[in-house]
Amino acid sequence: MIEFPGTDKEVRQLERFLTATESLPSDVALEDMRARALAHAERLSNAVNIGFAGEFGAGKSSLANMLAGADILPTGPQHLKLPLVIVAYSETPETTVGWWDREPKVYSGIALEKAAKDEPDFISVGLNTPALQEISLYDLPGSGALDDTYKPTLDLLKFVDCAIWCTNGTNAWRETERHLWAKVPEELRANSILAVTHTDLPPVRDALDRVLARLNKEKRNMFRSVVPIGTPVAVRAMAQEPEPDFALWETCGGQGLAEQVLDIASNRRQADLSSAREDLEQHFLPYLKSIDVQVPNIAALDAPSMQATLENVLPPIDNPILEDWLAAIASIYEDLRETSNMEPAAFLQSCQEIVEDFAERLENDGEIDPTADWIPGEFEKATDLLLLLQFESGVAPLKDAISILAQLSDNLAWAGSRVESAQPKTGT
């Protein structure tokens, strides 16, 4: 299984650099560093963009559908004419209609036909597919022969990090395709795959070994690899019930192509990560030290005394939600003791996540005294404060976080037992 490298640590360091230098007097060198830091942060925070391109009828939309795990892009010779279509992650399905020079508009659900009627410059389709959290798919309009239709393809390829050029196996890698692809920047070609489609058709299947031998010889520095794929068979294999036909998925080329796509995307992410680390180590962090902005080592804090401070404010009380709260806080300090190099922002983020979880729990009522109905609001405010502290530097934000946790603990202790376990009130 190919895993993408984590980027959270580097993004937090880049954001701290940007926050610490935001109000400093501007000069050319600082503005250049801030621009690079912002570019790094944006790249590492966004998905890797995979572009699908090819001549008309090469099967690129079918291939994008296969990797998206959803039949959303129209295919076939008479399909709906569309501009660039981006398939990206979204918690709820939605279709965004976009233009280069004006504000976009959003339709709920998948609404490509409605979107096409708006004559947009591009359309973005949001799907709740986990794989799309790491990669976004760019289905570029098909290009023709040596006419002007190839120019938009070249213009749009600048938005992608990696590309899959789809060539029809019945007449693979024609001169017109080579002419266009030779104009693509070398960096993109090195991160691209030549996908030979329609290998499920008998004429292609019977001559596939010969075709692949020729393409591997001709690709030179034009592509990273050549991958055959019978897209309809791959789609059929994954649609089998009660589970996909994995043997068929592998033999038709689906598995090989999926692994190649994830591999080039992962390599691109690793290259972006290495570039960001180089700037952080050689430029950004040394600059912060030169202006006396410290990036503290959280291990230098006295964790046992901080935990004792937290526990000393608490009176003994039978309070189930308080007990759960203390157990959650104790887990943070346990991580702190076991991890000598924990990042300050990671510690603050852990505090924020726990406070946020309990804020949601308190909204359900029934666990604290009715007279303490103000406490959920305190947890919500604390969530916002802990988020803001992650963008500050030095030891002070860490101490502020400890004070916030202690105050919340005191509030929960004051709230008393759960309503259902409280003694009934009596009187005349």
pLDDT by position in tens, the chain (length 428): 567 888 887 888 898 889 888 888 889 999 999 999 999 999 999 999 999 998 888 888 888 888 887 778 877 655 667 899 999 999 999 999 999 999 999 999 999 999 999 999 999 999 998 888 889 999 998 776 555 667 778 888 889 999 999 999 999 999 889 888 998 999 999 999 999 999 999 989 999 999 999 999 998 889 999 999 998 888 888 888 888 888 999 999 999 999 999 999 999 999 999 999 999 999 998 998 888 655 555 445 555 555 555 445 444 445 677 778 888 888 877 776 666 566 777 888 888 888 988 888 887 766 777 777 788 888 888 888 888 787 776 677 888 888 888 888 888 776 654 444 433 333 32
Residue among 178, 190, 168 at smallest CA distance from 218: 178
Q: Is 306 helix (H, G, I), strand (E, B) or coil?
A: helix
Tokens of 244: 């996909």
Q: How does strand 122-127 pair with strand 105-108?
A: unpaired
CA dihedral 384, 386, 392, 396 (to 10 degrees): 140
Residue among 122, 139, 150 at smallest CA distance from 55: 150
Which CATH architecture fits 47-252?
Answer: 3-Layer(aba) Sandwich (3.40)
At 286, which amino acid appears? Answer: P
Cβ atoms 43, 272 nearer than 8 A: yes
Q: How does strand 122-127 pair with strand 162-168?
A: unpaired
Distance CA 322, CA 24 (A): 44
Tokens of 67: 């990797």
Taking each continuous run of H as one helix and of E as one strand, the counts in the chain are 18, 9
pLDDT of residue 42: 94
The sheet with strand 84-89 has its strands ordered as: 105-108, 94-98, 122-127, 84-89, 135-139, 48-54, 162-168, 192-197, 225-228
pTM: 0.69
> What angle in degrees, to the nearest 10, is found between the helix axes of 28-45 and 254-279?
150
pLDDT of residue 317: 44
Dihedral sign, Cα of residue 20, residue 26, residue 28, residue 32: positive
Tokens of 245: 């036909």
| All residues at 6 or more sequence positions from 344 whose CB lies less than 8 Å from its CB, including other chains | 295, 296, 298, 397, 398
Residue among 115, 117, 142, 118 at smallest CA distance from 126: 115
Domain ranges of the chain: 47-252, 298-420
Percent helix, percent strand, percent coil in the chain, to nearest 5: 55, 10, 35
Q: Is 125 helix (H, G, I), strand (E, B) or coil?
A: strand
Per-position DSSP letters for 12-57, written without gaps between them: HHHHHHHHHHTTSPP-HHHHHHHHHHHHHHHHHHSPEEEEEEEBTT
pLDDT of residue 318: 56
Distance CA 235, CA 417 (A): 57
Tokens of 118: 């708006």
DSSP, res 134: T
pLDDT of residue 76: 65
Cβ atoms 378, 372 nearer than 8 A: no
Cβ atoms 245, 237 nearer than 8 A: yes
Report the 10 Å Cβ neighbour count for 194.
25
